[in-house]
Amino acid sequence: MSASRRTDIPNYYPEWFFNRLKEGYAYVRNPMNPRQVSKVPVTPDVVDCIVFWTKNPARMLGRLDELAAYNYYFQFTLTGFGQDVERGVPHKRKKMIPIFKELSRRIGKERVIWRYDPIIITERYSAAYHINAFRQIAEALDGYTQKVVISFVDMYSKIRKNVEKLGMEEISSVEKLELASRLSFIARENHMDIGACAEETDFSEAGIGKNSCIDKQLIEELCGYPLNVPKDRNQRKACGCVESIDIGTYNTCRNGCAYCYANYSEKSVATAVKNYDAASPLLCGRVMPEDIIKTRAVKSLKA
């Protein structure tokens, strides 16, 4: 279960999430056909693992015991950007690094993946800047994670305008490899494996393999059993993730990141957030009379 590529559930909607676990199901509206709603069972017998995606899991720290029946891990994004790029993210050194460390102490460093992505090159955020920021964060997180994931920004049409406002500079494959090599060296110095997320460029000569965010190998290690699960065909070609069910909703993330692909506009987010009800089966929505609700057939993928 992915929670979620579409929004930051741990940061903004933990009450809704834990209510879904208590009730044993979540409703997910089809982004391509809004009248179709899936009822997704989320009980421990069918959920092999939960993958959380977040920039700030602070509001979940006091409720981790409610996840005792589940296998899970966190994808924790922590970059060197300031609030001109990540408007809703608190100060990294004062707030976010201590939260990362606390989460790691509570659940184990193997279950907290550091994401330094996306990498955007501008006059302010130059390659040298990223190297310095990455080094500072890596040194602070040494011993608190086993893996860091990097990626360079993908220019989706919906984010182009916002990213161009930052003065983004083009970067060649050679320049990407040079920067990735520097980051790889820093990661190894701080006892971390490093992977690249959905990158067409081959970084293997820099000691960087292809990453899988929904990681079959890691999930099998956490579960203690092998999985029969195929690659996710609905993701980008370069994505290494295996299949999962996402329970999030687009246009609901309030982090305000300039590079966000999951929000259409600030107005669309504001409209959706008005509909947030922690007791609703739908995230930031309500079931309408014209909705067609079907229970999704799910089962454990244990081999």
The confidence band for 165, taking pLDDT boundaries of 50, 70 and 90, is confident
Beta bridge partners of 54: 76
In angstroms, the CA 120 to CA 86 distance is: 12
Residue 168: domain span: 2-295
Would you state the torsion angle of the CA atoms of residues 135, 141, 145, 147, taken in this order, to the nearest 10 degrees?
-10
In angstroms, the CA 241 to CA 227 distance is: 13
Judge whether 300 lies within some domain: no
In angstroms, the CA 212 to CA 147 distance is: 12
Judge whether 302 lies within some domain: no
Judge whether 303 lies within some domain: no
Is the pLDDT at 275 greater than 90? The verdict is yes
Is the pLDDT at 250 greater than 90? The verdict is yes
What pLDDT is stored for residue 234 in this prediction? 86
Is the pLDDT at 158 greater than 80? The verdict is no
Q: Characterize 220-231 residue by residue with b for buried, 16 or more Cβ atoms within 10 angstroms of its Cβ, and e for exposed.
A: bebeeeebebee
In angstroms, the CA 125 to CA 120 distance is: 7
Judge whether 255 lies within some domain: yes
The pLDDT tens digits of the residues spanning 183-242 come to 999 999 999 999 999 888 899 999 999 999 999 999 999 999 999 999 998 888 888 899
CB contact set of 288 (below 8 Å; sequence gap of 6+):
none
What pLDDT is stored for residue 161 in this prediction? 79
In angstroms, the CA 183 to CA 243 distance is: 29
In angstroms, the CA 130 to CA 285 distance is: 39
In angstroms, the CA 272 to CA 251 distance is: 7
Is the pLDDT at 155 greater than 80? The verdict is no
What pLDDT is stored for residue 159 in this prediction? 75
What pLDDT is stored for residue 191 in this prediction? 98
pTM: 0.95
The encoded tokens of residue 114 equal 């550091």
In angstroms, the CA 134 to CA 136 distance is: 6
In angstroms, the CA 37 to CA 27 distance is: 6
What pLDDT is stored for residue 287 in this prediction? 94
Distances (CA, A) of 14 to 3, 39, 58: 10, 19, 10
Mean pLDDT of the chain: 95
CA-based nearest residue to 197, from 262, 127, 234, 149: 149
Q: Which of 39-48, 107-116, 262-271 is predicted least confidently?
A: 262-271
What pLDDT is stored for residue 8 in this prediction? 98
The C-alpha angle 167, 171, 177, rounded to 5 degrees, equals 140
CB contact set of 34 (below 8 Å; sequence gap of 6+):
none
Judge whether 301 lies within some domain: no
What pLDDT is stored for residue 238 in this prediction? 80
The encoded tokens of residue 67 equal 């996840």
In angstroms, the CA 216 to CA 222 distance is: 10
CA-based nearest residue to 268, from 158, 169, 170, 112: 158
Mean pLDDT value of segment 120-138: 97
The pLDDT tens digits of the residues spanning 49-66 come to 999 999 999 999 999 999
Query: Is residue 31 reached through a cis peptide bond, with omega within 30 degrees of 0 on the bond before it?
Result: no
What pLDDT is stored for residue 166 in this prediction? 87
Q: How many domains does the chain have?
A: 1
What pLDDT is stored for residue 40 in this prediction? 98
In angstroms, the CA 179 to CA 187 distance is: 12
